[in-house]
Every structure is written in structure tokens, then in C-alpha cells.
Amino acid sequence: MELCLHKKLHSVAKCYLKMKKMSTSVSLNLAAKIIAVDCGLKPCFLYDYSTSGVQQIRSYIKELQHMRIILGHLLILNIAENILIINVSEAVSYLQALLHDHDLHLIDVSASLSQPVMFSPNQVLEIRTHIADLLDILKQYQHAQPDSVSVDEIQSPGWNLCTMFGFLLHFPAPYWFSTVKGFDNCLSLTPLRHFSVQANCSRICHQAVQIYSFTVPECVYQALKLHLEKWTEWLRQTFHSQTDFTDLNIVTDTVILTAVAL
């Protein structure tokens, strides 16, 4: 039964996403990450598996719904040629909470800085406006039918996409950087604490699925420690409220990279 399901998911991915060389492991990993969005373990998934367009991805997800692998409504949102697969109800709930949070827990990694610092409260109003704009878009899809897949597109929102994607992906402390003089950052050769969240996807019998992966600079870790602990507790509670994944594993290590692309 397990082998039959794996072959079917592999075949569906190759057929609809036009990826003839996709391995079975990669196809299972893709399905599992979309399941993580569907069951509420994360509100969004940034699709980076191929150059497939939104209609190809929509057909793929519709087939997963037909197979009863995916149970709820999902939105495929194309923002400046970046494709996100969104659990609208989870994303709206989280973004609304952010708007009422007095501290957005952003990390400023602008290239002009000698090292990362916590984001200046003086600039929070603009970020809140962008979150509100995104909420207005997502709320249009709150009452869509459970067995449907919606598609929308935003060409040039004028947002710092690194920051907005960080919010949508539910990272506890997204990065922000000034784009006045380009898109560089100050993370090069900076010690980063890397958080990796993995679990086994029991729904499709696939192991070691990476659900979250993000970094926090060591120089601001102490300022964020309590917030990170609260985020971890939220994750554990959410994990125990679903049945699609088992064996939650949160791993941390420190990395130093010569260059970090955001």
C-alpha cells in the first residue's frame, strides 16, 4: 500500500509539474510540505522545486485533493514571480495577530551595519501597513470551498519581500534590510544559530521532512530568546493538535557563511 502511494505521488508530480527527472524522494518531500500547510503546521510554503507556473501547480494540488492527500482550500499566490502556497485561514489568523503585537521581532541586517541589530521601532508603521495590505488580499479567499484551489498574482507590491515572506512562512524573527543602496546584507561571516524543524509525515509514510528552517544571528539571540521559546511552544502545541506528522525534532547548530542571499 505504501509503495503504491509513493509511486502514485511520484507519477502525479512528474505529470503535472512537467519534471520528468524528479526523484521519488523529492516528489514525496514536496507533497509532505504542502500537507504541512494544509494541516496548519505552517501557514505558507514557498515553492522552489521547479519553474512550473501557477496553473501547473494548481493542477497538481487539485490532484492531491482528489487523492484526499490535501483536505482543505489552498491559495497559490504569485508575488513578483515567487510562488507561495498558502493556508488562507492560518495565514489570516497569524497576520491579524501580528498587527496587534506591539513588537514585530524583526532583525535589521542592512549592509550599512557592522552586525545585525533588532529592528528600529520607528520603522514599524510602514511594515504594519504592508501586512495590512497583504491581509486585504488574503481575506478575499477566506470563504472559498474546502475542495478548491485559488490563484492570485501581485506584480510589484513595493514590499521588502524577504520580510513579508518571513511573516508568511511564520518565521519567529524575519530579516529586514534597507534597499536604498542595493540588496546586500551584513550576514557574511556572522555566526548564525540555525533552527531546523523536522518530522515524519505519517499521511504519506515519508520520513525526515523539513518543516521549518531559519537562522537567528548569535549577536541578537539573547534579545530574542524568550520570543523563540514562545514560538517553539506554539509549534509543539500545534504539532500535537494534528495527526499528519509524528516525531517532531527541533535541531539547532551554529553556522558561519561567506555570503547569505536573502
Q: Is 105 left (phi over 0), alpha (psi -120 to 50) or beta?
A: left
- Taking only Cα atoms into account, the Rg of the chain, rounded to an integer number of angstroms, comes to 19
pLDDT, tens only, 92-105: 999 999 998 878 89
43: which residues sit within 8 A by CB, 6+ positions away? 37, 86, 87, 90, 91, 94, 168, 169, 170
Closest CA to 31 of 82, 65, 56: 65
What's the whole-number mean pLDDT along residues 148-167? 91
pLDDT at 188 over 90: yes
pLDDT at 107 over 90: yes
CA atoms within 13 A of residue 143's CA, in its CB half-sphere = 1
- Domain definitions of the chain by residue range: 2-255
Pairing between β-strand 74-79 and β-strand 149-154 as defined by DSSP bridges: parallel
State the Cα–Cα distance between residues 50 and 24, nearest whole angstrom: 15
Q: Supply the mean pLDDT for the chain.
A: 93
pLDDT, tens only, 203-235: 999 999 999 999 999 999 999 999 999 999 999
Per-residue pLDDT, 1: 63
Q: In angstroms, what CA-CA distances link 105 with 78, 176, 197, 213, 249?
A: 26, 10, 20, 17, 24
Closest CA to 48 of 60, 39, 40, 57: 57
CB 173 within 8 A of CB 106: yes
Per-residue pLDDT, 22: 86
Per-residue pLDDT, 262: 86
pLDDT at 90 over 90: yes
Residues of the chain above pLDDT 70, percent:
100
Q: Return the exposure string of 168-207: e unless at least 16 CB atoms fall within 10 Å of the residue's CB, then b.
A: bbbbbbbbbbbeeeeebbbbeebebbebebbbbbbbbebe
What's the whole-number mean pLDDT along residues 182-193? 93
